Every structure is written in structure tokens, then in C-alpha cells.
Amino acid sequence: MQDKNFDALAGKFAKNIYGTPKGEVRAAVLWRDLSQAMAQLPKGPLRILDAGGGFGFFCQKLAKLGHSVTLCDISSEMLALGKAQIQAYEESSGETLDISLIHAPIQSLTQETLGQFDLILCHAVAEWLSDAKQTLGDLTGLLKPDGLFSLMFYNKEAMRFHSLISGNFDYVAADFKVKKKVGLTPSYPLYIQDVRKWVEDWQMELLSESGVRVIHDYLKTHQPPNSDFSQLLEMELQYSTHPAYVGLGRYVHFIMRRL
């Protein structure tokens, strides 16, 4: 089994993930969670690693706040997109961002070569890894004591529920196995309870859980004429941490602390 490389899908991925309402929901929930968690970290510039961060959506936001960021991805095309965006911002603003780009699989990252970080991001990567527990567990070793790990993963139970309410019963009965797979459908979606157990095995403390898109993906096709996106976003943020709805999130966001 090979881990997913998005070289062939870089443009589509960037557009579909962050250039849509669902991408705005994702970004808002993650940024809210990160901003709250980072208040617990030391003041001043932080060392941050974005493992499998693609073109560096959050890297760029964090670097603009003055942090030192390392962006690693297996896709040269995704990194090229990120580099172009970083250069465009630097040329227009006259500001230099402290971002280092590493073209490599995240399994190759070591403390010996990179040192330790205050914060590690790993968003929408785990569900593409053939051995997510091992790979993510190794990443936790790059954290400083009390460092934070921001992990967002594709939720298999929400994937099942969405298929059920869409009437795709054959797909569910086949355990999501199809002859022709859609390019952006994750290979290894995860169960929340499994990842919670991993956190214990890694001897990490789970600080927060949020569902990402607990409403958006379940909306009926035809919405009331007076509905608007700002209302949806407000509700997503409000209910993303509600215990009854976290498990409905298409993705789930964990923030952990290294003990």
C-alpha cells in the first residue's frame, strides 16, 4: 500500500478544499481551535511544523503572525503552489515570511535533522496513510514537552451516516469499496474511538475535539430563500464542539498536548 501523493490533483485539491463554502467552514473551525490552543503556548515566535500541509494554507496564516514555520509535503506540485503564493504575498507586502519548504514524505522527518517544535499540524493526512498510527506517533516525537499536536482526520462513521441518509445503501453494505474510486475520497477513513485510543498509546493529553462540517454536508438541496452562509458558519462554530454533534463532522479535529 502506498500513501497518497496529490501531484496529479494539486489544482483540483486546492480549489475544492479551500475555494468553496465547505472549505471556509473547515478553515474557520480549525483556526478557532488553533487560536484558542496556541494561547497556552509560550509567548513570542513559535516553531511550527505543518506535516503534509499541501500548499500551506495555515502555514501562511501562521507565518504572517511572526511564527517560524516548516512546511513538508510529498507533492512537489502542492509545494510549488505554496511557494508561488508565498512569493506573491512577500512581493506585494514587502514582508518576508519565515517558511521553510521540505519536499519529502512525512515519515522521513526526524528530530535529529529538524529539532523539536512547539506546534505540529497534520490536517487531512491521516486518512491517506497506510499506517496512520505509526506515522503520526513518530511525528509526536518531534514535539517539545507540552507542545501541541493539531490532528484533523476523515471520520469514517460520518462517511457512513452521510451515505445512509443519501440512500447509498449498497455502498455502505460493500463497506465503501467501489470499482472506480473518486480521486478525493480518502483511502483510510478513521473511527474517532480508534484515534482516541492512539492518543492514549502515544501518552498524549487530548485537550479538545471538534467536528468539522457537522451541518454543511447534511443540508437539504433546496434551502430557504432567506438563508445565508454567515448563518451556517455561525451554527457550524457553535455546534462543532457539542458532544452530540462532534461525531457528525465529516472531519474531526483533535488538539493534543505532549506530556
Q: What are the angstrom distances between the C-alpha of 258 and each of 72, 136, 224?
A: 21, 13, 46
Answer yes or no: is 47 a known binding residue. no
Spatial neighbors of 13 by CB under 8 A, at least 6 apart, are 6, 54, 78, 184
Gyration radius of the chain over CA positions: 18
Answer yes or no: is 115 a known binding residue. no
Pairing between β-strand 251-258 and β-strand 204-212 as defined by DSSP bridges = antiparallel
Answer yes or no: is 123 a known binding residue. yes
Residue with cell 518531534: 142
Is the CB of residue 234 less than 8 Å from the CB of residue 24? Answer: no
Q: Which residues are annotated as a binding site?
A: 26, 52-53, 73, 123
Q: Which residues are annotated as a binding site for S-adenosyl-L-methionine?
A: 26, 52-53, 73, 123
